Amino acid sequence: MANVFMLATPYGRPRVMSSYYFEDTSDGAPSEADGTILRVHVGREDRCDDTNWVCEHRRPAMAQMVVFRSATAASPSVTGWWSDGDDQIAFSRNGLGFVAINRSTEPMSERLQTGLPPGEYCDILSALPADQKCAGEKLLVNDSGAADIHVPAMSATAFVLERQAPQR
């Protein structure tokens, strides 16, 4: 969720890093018996499946949030900030995108101003649009730009103007 937030905001130059699993805080990176560190990438191949590398950069949410950041790049600021005062936030990127993040152990259900034009949008974090159909969660934005936002516990949702669901 921290990476979703980082990529959703227009600030700075985000870096998505990958790390490794460890049992003890003194454990080093995955390595050979002789101590040689195993590299994550070897040429065009990666070792995400055969070592203890976590490879966060390959998670679908990371790729989709890069799509979000690119789609909202023309917006230099965050607008329509909403917070429950605790573990839930939502904001718009000036009509180009909307994100809601729920770090609570309870589901989030709110009617919020999205900043998006009226229409139906595909959640880019729940599933990629497939064959011009929305394969994931949908968001229906009303004429005033508001929508009923539902986000499961410990999850996030993101919508961008360029991924508006096709008209039926």
**Backbone phi, then psi, for 151, in 5-degree steps?**
-130, 125
**Where does the pLDDT of residue 168 fall: very low under 50, low under 70, confident under 90, or very high at 90 and above?**
very low
Residue 9, pLDDT score: 94
CA 7 to chain centre: 7
What is d(CA 116, CA 160) in angstroms, rounded to the nearest whole number? 8
Residue 62, pLDDT score: 81
**Where does the pLDDT of residue 50 fall: very low under 50, low under 70, confident under 90, or very high at 90 and above?**
low
Strand 79-83, strand 97-102: pairing: unpaired
Q: For residue 129, what are the CA distances in angstroms to 61, 116, 124, 136?
A: 14, 18, 8, 7
What does the pLDDT look like over 123-161, one tens digit per residue? 988 876 555 667 778 899 999 999 999 999 999 999 998
Q: Are 79 and 73 in contact (CB under 8 A)?
A: no
Summarize the confidence of residues 71-80 as an average pLDDT.
Answer: 92
Residue 108, pLDDT score: 97
Long-range contacts of 42-50 (CB under 8 A, 24+ apart): 48/18
Range with lowest mean pLDDT among 16-30, 38-52, 53-67, 86-100? 38-52
Domain range list for the chain: 60-163
Angle ∠(86,161,65) on CA atoms, nearest 5? 55
Residue 166, pLDDT score: 47
What does the pLDDT look like over 11-47, one tens digit per residue? 888 777 767 777 787 877 777 778 887 777 777 777 6
Residue 140, pLDDT score: 95
Give the rounded percent of residues in the chain with a pLDDT score beyond 70.
86
**Looking at the predicted structure, is the pLDDT value of residue 165 above 60?**
no
What is d(CA 126, CA 105) in angstroms, rounded to the nearest whole number? 18
What is d(CA 20, CA 29) in angstroms, rounded to the nearest whole number? 6
What is d(CA 86, CA 36) in angstroms, rounded to the nearest whole number? 44
pTM (2 decimals)? 0.78
**Looking at the predicted structure, is the pLDDT value of residue 112 above 60?**
yes
Tell me yes or no: is domain 60-163 CATH 1.10.10.10: no
Give the residue with greater pLDDT, 81 vs 18. 81
